């Protein structure tokens, strides 16, 4: 609203200057028979009355140029205001683009943080799973999968690990790289197991 009032005042000031200029011109053409008295000459009255009663499109080119000069003064004000508004719009667009870019950056950061959180949660679950795998599991809480080797309690006198097959615990007489070859020949049922645990993964060389 303030800028609208400013523009109105600028236009009013220009209108006043134009009126003042015209009055100065008019007075300069008048005759002063006495102090404080002015008389418009006959030629001026006839000329200005004719111009006032003539539509703009019927004026001479010189007369039109006089009006055009006055119109250009208004256009100069409008051009200044248009330039200011364009600059303001450009600034707003730049600010809008900056804010949009900032929002995109914040969304990206939030997405990265969420992915890191998810990855961390997955890692924690994996570690928890590995930790749980290293705990002794009472047979009363659950039995392992068949056809795998496990650590058991109490320890067997011949071997610290036992083979679980057909829902029973078995031991084999000696270690072998291919346990399957010994199944049926060296497996013997064993006493009751109370706890079991998956065999931990052996560390790689250099770890």
For the chain, what are the domain ranges? Answer: 2-111, 137-198
Residue 188 contacts residue 200 (beta carbons within 8 Å): no
Contacts of residue 61, defined as CB under 8 A and 6 or more positions apart, other chains included, come to: none
Q: Respond yes or no on whether the N-terminal peptide bond of residue 69 is cis (omega within 30° of 0).
A: no
**What local confidence, expressed as pLDDT, does residue 51 receive?**
92
Contacts of residue 178, defined as CB under 8 A and 6 or more positions apart, other chains included, come to: none
pLDDT in tens, 105-143: 888 887 787 778 787 777 767 766 666 667 888 989 999
CA distances from 79 to 64, 85, 120, 182 (A): 22, 10, 60, 99
Residue 198 contacts residue 133 (beta carbons within 8 Å): yes
Single pTM value for the model: 0.42
> Hey, is 195 helix, strand or coil?
strand
Show the low-confidence residues of the chain (pLDDT under 70).
Answer: 1-4, 124, 127-133, 155-160, 172-191, 202-207
* Side-chain-facing half-sphere of 15: CA atoms under 13 Å: 6
β-sheet bridge partners, residue 172: 187
**What local confidence, expressed as pLDDT, does residue 68 receive?**
92
**What local confidence, expressed as pLDDT, does residue 39 receive?**
94
* Side-chain-facing half-sphere of 173: CA atoms under 13 Å: 8
Give the DSSP H or E segment for 109: helix 61-133
């Amino acid at each position: 609203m303030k800028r609208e009032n400013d523009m109105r005042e600028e236009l009013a000031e220009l209108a006043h200057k134009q009126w003042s200029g015209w009055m100065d011109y008019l007075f300069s053409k008048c005759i002063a028979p006495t102090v404080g008295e002015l008389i418009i000459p006959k030629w001026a009255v006839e000329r200005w009355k004719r111009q006032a009663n003539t539509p703009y499109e019927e004026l001479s080119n010189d007369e039109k140029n006089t009006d055009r000069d006055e119109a250009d003064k208004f256009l100069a004000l409008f051009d200044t205001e248009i330039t200011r508004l364009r600059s303001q719009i450009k600034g707003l667009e730049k600010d809008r683009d900056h804010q949009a870019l900032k929002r995109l950056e914040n969304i990206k950061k939030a997405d990265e943080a969420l992915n890191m959180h998810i990855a961390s949660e997955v890692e924690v679950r994996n570690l928890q799973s590995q930790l749980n795998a290293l705990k002794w599991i009472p047979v009363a809480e659950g039995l392992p999968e068949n056809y795998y080797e496990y650590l058991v309690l109490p320890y067997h006198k011949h071997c610290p690990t036992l083979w679980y097959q057909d829902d029973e615990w078995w031991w084999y007489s000696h270690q072998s790289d291919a346990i399957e070859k010994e199944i049926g020949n060296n497996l013997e049922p064993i006493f009751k197991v109370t706890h079991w645990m998956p065999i931990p993964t052996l560390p790689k060389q250099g770890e």
